[in-house]
């Protein structure tokens, strides 16, 4: 039998060497029919042709199509590297597809800053980003190092974690950041003088103009477009901007609504407002979210809200349980008073709005899980999917409880490569490093989870996160926590349908099933067939979004 429905304009069948659907009831196929931007049929060419479609596009016949990758925790800020020089330790692709080598020493950083200073008007700010001090064997970066690059410009070095900045003496003087400055997060040397470190947004905002410059770049229409390119280049078809300030700034909502409507904008955005302000303002916040949701469209969704409870492990600002950090000073910092978390979250939970909470440390994971337990005792909601994002140091007891409460975890498993050795040797020691981002245990316990890059903290690339979860390998060839490794099939689902579930978008994206958006990642090789250590080397051709192909611009 063939369908009696008349064809629609634009109906097309794509054929491929292999299609991986992320739908366990039909895991593979070789053809997919698209109608009105949605999946009409998945199967063989003959299956698809029964819909009467005569347009067959064979350009992907030698390629592998997969359910489009879903990145449930990234930031539009990813696009900033088009305008702000990148100075991280690992080389990486910029949003336009170009490649920048890593900065391997403090001296190299000073040289790069000095060369920028040479072409910058004195007094004009020099802002760079992605700096990763934990890899440098040298003394910790301070204002004195930056003063070697220039004393004529304010220099603001934004760190890879996004939680820290180091500034030069010009900035310290400009904003009167002196000995005894009372703001929490201002770093001092052993003589009590400021050392140029500013931890967490409140302290970084002391460098008002320079910090604002990052904010301005982050919300420009141009940056949002660069974000879409970076995601498409990585094969990602749905990406969250996890933590924006829409409820406070109507303009930034309009910017994203407008940018995402453009035809060439090639990614679906899950735009996620960040909870700030005090508990009394939360009801108003809920109304703002509900109102903003009425303006969304196919490529722009506001599925959940985000809260941030602590800092980063490598910055020693995540709040960790006893016995605390392995080496170094304990700067664990609650960004909200833990005893108020329930009051902050109650209005969202009661309104049926899912919550993603940034918890890097074990203490903060516990605080969030306990808060959800209180809220669920007050107000039943079986399908909340509240998600612990990062959940890097979540304990087994916390995972069992989170599972029982119907929660999810979004693991920052890229850390095993980017900082796994540092966590083992410096931040938290071998026991907890081996149990970080515990995908294996989560599977054994039955806790639902996905993966993220937190781009720009690490590069958005779900093939890399899959590779990290499968291998847990470090740059020196060690394996940190072999018992937490998972297989490629599990990792593929964590990079697709599981992320969609956490965003309450699994009815729309995350797998190739009839009626969902025809969003696909186009790969040159099959990640299931290559050697496990080569998963991250699989080449991305580009994506298909709503049935429309778009080729990557990444340099290989």
The piece of 19-27, 91-99, 360-368, 454-462 that touches Zn ion (CB under 5 A) is 454-462
Q: Which is nearer to Zn ion, 357 or 463 (CB)?
A: 357
Residue 387 Cβ vs Zn ion, minimum distance, rounded to whole Å: 13
Nearest-10 Cα torsion for 456, 270, 437, 397: 140
Task: Tell me: does residue 241 bind Zn ion (CB under 5 A).
Answer: no
Site string for Zn ion, 162-181 (x = CB under 5 A): --------------------
Q: Is 77 helix (H, G, I), strand (E, B) or coil?
A: helix
Q: What residue ranges in 132-267 does DSSP mark as E strands?
A: 155-159, 164-167, 186-188, 194-199, 236-244
Please say whether the beta carbons of 117 and 149 come within 8 A: yes
Q: Which of 274, 271, 275, 273 is nearest to 241 (CA)?
A: 271
Task: Tell me: does residue 454 bind Zn ion (CB under 5 A).
Answer: yes
The piece of 316-324, 380-388, 447-455, 492-500 that touches Zn ion (CB under 5 A) is 447-455
Residue 190 Cβ vs Zn ion, minimum distance, rounded to whole Å: 32
Q: Give the residue closest to Zn ion by C-beta.
A: 454
Q: Which is nearer to Zn ion, 358 or 516 (CB)?
A: 358
Q: Which is nearer to Zn ion, 40 or 460 (CB)?
A: 460
Helices (H) and strands (E) in the chain, counts: 19, 24
Q: Is 548 helix (H, G, I), strand (E, B) or coil?
A: strand
Please say whether the beta carbons of 411 and 356 come within 8 A: no
Report the distance separating Cα 216 and Cα 379, nearest Å: 39
Report the distance separating Cα 151 and Cα 117, nearest Å: 10
**CA contacts within 13 A on the Cβ side of 393:** 33
The piece of 2-10, 297-305, 449-457, 465-473 that touches Zn ion (CB under 5 A) is 449-457
Q: Which is nearer to Zn ion, 454 or 484 (CB)?
A: 454
The piece of 448-456, 469-477, 482-490, 512-520 that touches Zn ion (CB under 5 A) is 448-456
Q: Which is nearer to Zn ion, 14 or 449 (CB)?
A: 449
The piece of 3-11, 299-307, 315-323, 450-458 that touches Zn ion (CB under 5 A) is 450-458
Q: Which of 346, 272, 224 is nearest to 503 (CA)?
A: 272
Total interface residues for Zn ion by CB under 5 A? 1
Q: Which is nearer to Zn ion, 42 or 240 (CB)?
A: 240
Q: Is 319 helix (H, G, I), strand (E, B) or coil?
A: coil
Report the distance separating Cα 59 and Cα 62, nearest Å: 8
Q: Which two tokens stand for residue 366?
A: 């516990």
Q: Which of 343, 447, 427, 437 is nearest to 385 (CA)?
A: 447
Residue 318 Cβ vs Zn ion, minimum distance, rounded to whole Å: 13
Q: Which is nearer to Zn ion, 226 or 490 (CB)?
A: 226
The piece of 55-63, 178-186, 200-208, 452-460 that touches Zn ion (CB under 5 A) is 452-460
Q: Which is nearer to Zn ion, 317 or 441 (CB)?
A: 317
Kindly list the residues in this chain that would bind Zn ion in the complex (CB under 5 A). Answer: 454
């Amino acid at each position: 039998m063939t369908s009696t429905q008349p064809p629609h304009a634009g109906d097309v069948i794509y054929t491929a060497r292999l299609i991986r659907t992320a739908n366990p009831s039909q895991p593979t196929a070789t053809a997919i029919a698209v109608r009105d931007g949605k999946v009409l049929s998945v199967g063989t060419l003959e299956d698809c042709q029964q819909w009467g479609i005569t347009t067959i596009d064979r350009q992907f016949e030698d390629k592998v199509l997969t359910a489009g990758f879903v990145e449930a925790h990234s930031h539009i800020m990813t696009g900033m590297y088009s305008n702000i020089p990148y100075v991280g330790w690992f080389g990486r692709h910029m949003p336009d597809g170009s490649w920048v080598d890593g900065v391997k020493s403090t001296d190299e950083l000073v040289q790069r800053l000095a060369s920028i200073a040479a072409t910058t008007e004195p007094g004009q700010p020099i802002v760079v980003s992605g700096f990763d001090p934990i890899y440098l064997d040298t003394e910790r970066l301070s204002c004195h190092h930056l003063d070697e690059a220039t004393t004529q410009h304010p220099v603001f070095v934004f760190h890879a974690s996004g939680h820290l900045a180091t500034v030069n003496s010009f900035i310290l003087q400009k904003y009167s950041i002196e000995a005894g400055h009372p703001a929490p997060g201002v770093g001092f040397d052993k003589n009590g003088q400021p050392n140029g470190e500013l931890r967490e947004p409140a302290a970084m905002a002391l460098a008002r103009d320079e910090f604002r410059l990052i904010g301005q770049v982050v919300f420009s229409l141009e940056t949002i477009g660069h974000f879409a390119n970076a995601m498409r280049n990585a094969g990602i078809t749905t990406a969250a901007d996890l933590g924006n300030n829409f409820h406070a700034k109507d303009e930034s909502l309009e910017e994203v609504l407008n940018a995402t409507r453009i035809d060439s904008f090639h990614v679906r955005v899950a735009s996620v407002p960040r909870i700030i302000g005090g508990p009394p303002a939360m009801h108003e916040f809920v109304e703002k979210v509900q109102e903003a949701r009425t303006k969304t469209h196919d490529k722009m969704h506001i599925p959940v809200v985000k809260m941030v409870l602590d800092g980063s492990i490598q910055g020693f600002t995540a709040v960790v349980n006893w016995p605390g950090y392995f080496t170094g000073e304990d700067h664990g910092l609650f960004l909200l008073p833990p005893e108020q978390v329930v009051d902050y979250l109650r209005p969202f939970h009661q309104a049926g709005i899912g919550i993603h909470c940034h918890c890097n440390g074990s203490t903060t994971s516990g605080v969030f899980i306990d808060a959800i337990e209180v809220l669920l005792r007050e107000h039943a909601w079986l399908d909340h999917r509240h998600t612990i994002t990062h959940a890097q140091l979540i304990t087994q007891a916390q995972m069992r409880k989170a599972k029982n409460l119907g929660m999810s975890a979004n693991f920052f498993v890229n850390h095993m490569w980017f900082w796994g050795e540092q966590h083992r040797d410096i931040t938290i020691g071998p026991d907890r490093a081996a149990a970080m981002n515990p995908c294996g245990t989560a599977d054994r316990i039955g806790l639902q989870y996905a993966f993220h890059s937190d781009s720009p903290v690490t590069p958005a690339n779900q093939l890399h996160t899959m590779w990290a979860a499968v291998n847990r390998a470090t740059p020196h060839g060690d394996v940190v926590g072999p018992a937490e490794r998972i297989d490629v099939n599990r990792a593929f689902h964590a990079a697709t349908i599981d992320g969609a579930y956490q965003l309450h978008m699994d009815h729309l994206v995350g797998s190739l099933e009839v009626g969902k958006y025809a969003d696909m990642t186009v790969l040159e090789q099959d990640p299931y067939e290559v050697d496990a250590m080569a998963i991250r080397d699989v080449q991305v051709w580009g994506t298909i979004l709503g049935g429309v192909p778009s080729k990557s611009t990444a340099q290989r």
